[in-house]
Amino acid sequence: MLQKLASFAGVQGPLVTIVMDGYGLAKSETGSAIAAARKPTLDRLFANYPNISLRAHGTAVGMPSDEDMGNSEVGHNAIGAGQVYSQGAALVADAIASGAIWAGEAWQQIVAGAKSGTLHFIGLFSDGNVHSHIDHLKAMVARAKQEGVKTVRVHALLDGRDVPETSALDYTVPFEAFLQELSTDGFDARIASGGGRMNITMDRYDANWSMVEKGWHTHVLGEGDQFASATEAVNALRERFPGTIDQDLPPFVVARDGKPVGTIEDGDAVVLFNFRGDRSIEITRAFEELAFDKFDRVRAPRVTYAGMLQYDGDLKLPQRFLVNPPAITDTSGEWFSKSGVAQFACSETQKFGHVTYFWNGNRSGKFDGETYQEVPSDVVPFEQRPWMKSAEIADAMIAALQSGKYKTLRCNFANGDMVGHTGNFRAATMAVEAVDLALARLLPVIDAMGGIALITADHGNADEMYELDKKTKLPAQNKDGSFKAKTAHTLNPVPLVLYDNVSGGKLGLKALAGAGLSNIAATTANLLGFEKHAKWDESLLEIK
Ligand code: 3PG
Ligand code: CO
């Protein structure tokens, strides 16, 4: 149990933490869908309540460097755990640099498994460093050759979501040249299949299994439109589907004489080179589960399978993994549970695991006293529904608040992020407006219950909807003069607002130098009248 705080007995009513996904604080209003949105409730919050900015990217959330943008996994891990851990991106880079990955049993088993067959790598094909990094893939392919593997096939999921929206050729062209150069002395490495990451394979949280089924037919069965190389496929598909950005491109298969070059067969080895779990779990289940029933696999090859990391510590998924995940312990969820605090967590499908699984340190299980509610997301491109399920999440939160059953409640509004990722500026302004409307409904209920809210975000996205020119720092332009849409997250800090109409001005927020998302757990503990856990970063609550 956490110790009681001497200076503050804690809020009498509920404490609500609201994560506005993808809501960063931009330096400039140009290209910010947040600045362009009409958002009277948010404006009122920033004008009238204590608010500070928090670091949400780079080393503040356990990424290898401050050049790395934040993302929902590391952001929610930091918020929920109250601590910063070296995250997958950093752990894998370190394991490769030190060579520890090659000495590990899992890599040895993969190499042994591939000696008589083919070694396949499936994963997100970019240097976004959110789910994967292409340098990790290159290191593994080169090492596989050194260790005597003869055939390597890569199944490349085109990104355009964590990197510029039409950058696929920046990766396929040099990478296919790299594979060709390496393909000497009886070694043969090629890209065998692929497609847009939001079209195949990388679904999350059971939102749309048909994406994974399409990926299976592409990577494993080798079914689909055939091309001579990945580069040729990208060029041809762009011509065939004008305006389609990389993340949405349809699947492709690389073939020679009408025959796919890299179907996955019995006796092969498969490495899923994504280190992040949410979008890796479903395809992993398709490979690992004997009694798999999410779709008809047609053929389920017996392969030696490994994930880059273990994606779910509770489900032990996958069984074999190349690098140990961060050992996230003593999270706020666990300690509030041990302190008898009833907790409620809610979001729509697309972000449901963020406020449950990521929040609790990549564990799909629940701590005692936790209640989860998932609002099913629409299965549509979100620029068509920028309001997403903000109203339904507000409904669920209001009902949970009014039930009086929960002392802490947390939710995530996905809009700023999911619509921000589409690169559609107009839709992103509506996304922000939808969140504003939801807050306008939620805040009075918090007041009525005598509660307090912390309003924050996990990283930026809608705050910069145009790519900035590296030299001029002004929005970059397409050939036709339009601005180049930016689909990725930003490096901007995020807000932390203390919505408090109950303490009579006793409470405020400290602007601690370098404060980041990991300071939120201790702040929450103090607001509940507890000392922070010794492992958590400092509280930002000022008690006057
Ligand atoms: C995604 O998976 O959608 C993006 O790569 C990262 O977005 P998220 O970190 O906000 O989920
Ligand atoms: Co995002």
Q: Which domains does the chain have, with CATH numbers?
A: 15-87+329-543 (3.40.720.10), 89-323 (3.40.1450.10)
Question: Residues 272-287: what's their mean pLDDT?
Answer: 98
Please work out whether the CB of residue 197 comes within 6 Å of at least one atom of ligand 1: no
For residues 251 and 193, the answer to whether their CB atoms sit within 8 Å is yes
Atom of ligand 1 nearest to the CA of 72: 9
How far is the C-alpha of 496 from the C-alpha of 51, rounded, in Å? Answer: 5
202-248 per-position pLDDT tens digit: 999 999 999 999 999 999 999 999 999 999 999 999 999 999 999 99
pLDDT band at 331 (very low <50, low <70, confident <90, very high): very high
* CA 234 to centroid of ligand 1, rounded, Å: 22
pLDDT band at 474 (very low <50, low <70, confident <90, very high): confident
Per-residue pLDDT at 458: 98
Residue 113 counted as an annotated binding residue? no
Query: Beta strand pairing status for 51-54 and 494-500?
Result: antiparallel
Please work out whether the CB of residue 71 comes within 6 Å of at least one atom of ligand 1: yes
429-443 per-position pLDDT tens digit: 999 999 999 999 999
* CA 72 to centroid of ligand 1, rounded, Å: 6
Per-residue pLDDT at 472: 82
Distances (CA, A) of 244 to 11, 165, 166, 427: 50, 9, 9, 17
Per-residue pLDDT at 488: 98
Question: Which single residue is written with the structure tokens 């240097």?
Answer: 127
> Does residue 475 register a pLDDT over 90?
no
Please work out whether the CB of residue 351 comes within 6 Å of at least one atom of ligand 1: no
Q: Please give the share of the chain, as a percent, with pLDDT higher than 70.
A: 100
Q: Please give the share of the chain, as a percent, with pLDDT higher than 90.
A: 96
Please work out whether the CB of residue 304 comes within 6 Å of at least one atom of ligand 1: no
Per-residue pLDDT at 499: 99
How far is the C-alpha of 232 from the C-alpha of 261, rounded, in Å? Answer: 15
Q: Residue 236: which H helix or E strand, with range?
A: helix 230-240
Question: Residues 109-128: what's their mean pLDDT?
Answer: 97
Number of the ligand closest to the Cα of 204: 1
Per-residue pLDDT at 176: 98
How far is the C-alpha of 204 from the C-alpha of 219, rounded, in Å? Answer: 18
> Does residue 270 register a pLDDT over 90?
yes
> Does residue 300 register a pLDDT over 90?
yes
For residues 324 and 91, the answer to whether their CB atoms sit within 8 Å is yes
> Does residue 328 register a pLDDT over 90?
yes
> Does residue 114 register a pLDDT over 90?
yes
* CA 381 to centroid of ligand 2, rounded, Å: 14
- Return the residue whose CA atom lies nearest to atom 6 of ligand 1: 71
- Tell me the Cα Rg of the chain: 23
Q: Among 72, 347, 459, which is best to mutate for testing ligand 1, by the most ligand atoms less than 8 A from CB?
A: 72
Question: Residues 18-32: what's their mean pLDDT?
Answer: 95
32-73 per-position pLDDT tens digit: 999 999 999 999 999 999 999 999 999 999 999 999 999 999
Number of the ligand closest to the Cα of 351: 1
Residue 410 counted as an annotated binding residue? no
Residue 514 counted as an annotated binding residue? no
| Contacts by residues 105-110 (CB-CB < 8 Å, ≥ 24 positions apart) | 106/306, 106/320, 106/321, 106/322, 107/306, 107/322, 109/304, 109/306, 109/320, 110/269, 110/271, 110/304, 110/306, 110/320, 110/322
> Does residue 471 register a pLDDT over 90?
no
How far is the C-alpha of 539 from the C-alpha of 533, rounded, in Å? Answer: 10
Per-residue pLDDT at 469: 82
Question: Residues 510-531: what's their mean pLDDT?
Answer: 97
Atom of ligand 1 nearest to the CA of 159: 5
Q: Is 337 a catalytic residue?
A: no
Residue 351 counted as an annotated binding residue? yes
> Does residue 180 register a pLDDT over 90?
yes
Q: Which of 32, 72, 280, 539 does the annotation list as catalytic?
A: 72
Residue 458 counted as an annotated binding residue? yes
Per-chain mean pLDDT for the chain = 97
pLDDT band at 377 (very low <50, low <70, confident <90, very high): very high
How far is the C-alpha of 453 from the C-alpha of 445, rounded, in Å? Answer: 11
Per-residue pLDDT at 531: 98
pLDDT band at 341 (very low <50, low <70, confident <90, very high): very high
Please work out whether the CB of residue 484 comes within 6 Å of at least one atom of ligand 1: no
For residues 524 and 531, the answer to whether their CB atoms sit within 8 Å is no
> Does residue 523 register a pLDDT over 90?
yes
